[in-house]
Amino acid sequence: MVNRKGFSLVEVLISLVLGAFLIAGVGSLFVGQIRTSELSHAVNEAQENARLALNLIARDLSQAGFMGDLDHTMLNVDAAVTFHGMNAAAPVAAADDCVGGDNNASFPNLASSYSFRALHAEHKGAASLATLEPCTSISSHTAVAGSDVLQLKRFIAAPGTSMADMPAGTDILDPIALSESSNRYYAYANFENIVFYPGDVATAPAWNTAVNGRVFQYQHHVWWVGDDDGQPSLFHRYLLRSGGVGKMSSVSGALVPGIEALAFQFGLDVNGDFIPDRYIATDDMTVQDWEGTNGKIITAKVEVLGRATSEDKQHKDTKTYTMSSGTFGPYNDTYHRILISTVVKLRNIQ
């Protein structure tokens, strides 16, 4: 006779307990992996937002003041600057321009006692920012308090062929020869002369105004941090031509979401050895510093405070972030943040 014996009650209970421990361990591991994935996503998103904003600004800033072969001092000489097809007294109406600072509109003010600025920054909260407010207060995208606003002017894109190398009779308005757009501004410049003109100009300027010059698109860029429906974001405006007049572009939305603040420090070379002797925060820059009286601006440190666009309910940000423009936080909210910076060499600021 075969002895058929099953598991005892004790054995069944032990098996159940061991199984429960095993299931709990696997479940805990699974939950931990989900948490790690969520945390990694939030941190990576904050890093990606900050790095994208930093790269965009740094790349543009590195080209600030690029004017082809032109000697920048010529931008302050009446005889060297020509406005063709434009109102020389007010190329862009003040209400449609981004000014801020002395002689810092889109185009040179030849009546100003200050040099035309290809680079300028303002601190949000400074009294001097009042003239820049209309530019950074589009809809609800007003620049956030404590952050900096950056402006720069430069030539962009590849230069047009020198007129000396073009076939006889080539027209400045020929879009194939010069790839011009009716809603942009252009500059025809050599070492000592420059002609500004809009892409929709009816007649070409005299080429002998800047002999053997080259044609570039001319731009004025503005960068700031503002609000986009509750999301702090990086915004950008640029110079364009619309309806026969100059104006800064409209703001249809954020360029990079999740950007909390911007800050800049400018490195001044005092003794001419091409090494910055001191760094000055935007709010501490004086007129003399911008004019180059106290040393040449040769570098700029860019600081970006970025955050994730989605909340992490299991996280609380109690950190304080110290930037050259001020202190931010603690926010005591559930967003992950990161503060990053880089130093940009300014090769074209004179």
Reply yes or no on whether the pLDDT at 161 is more than 70: no
For the chain, what are the domain ranges?
Answer: 43-345
pTM as predicted: 0.83
**DSSP assignment, residue 247?**
E
Residue 307 near residue 315, CB atoms below 8 Å: no
Q: 27-47: per-residue pLDDT in tens? A: 676 666 655 666 667 788 999
Compute the distance between CA of residue 243 and CA of residue 200 in angstroms, rounded to an integer.
Answer: 10
286-304, pLDDT tens digit by residue?
Answer: 999 999 999 999 999 999 9
6-15, 87-96, 262-271, 289-298: least confidently modelled range: 6-15
**Residue 300's beta-bridge partner residues?**
266, 344
Instruction: Give 165: exposed, middle or buried? Use CB within 10 Å, 0-12, 13-18, 19+.
Output: exposed
In terms of Cα–Cα distance, which of 151, 311, 142 is closest to 233? 142
Residue 90 Cα to chain centre, angstroms: 26
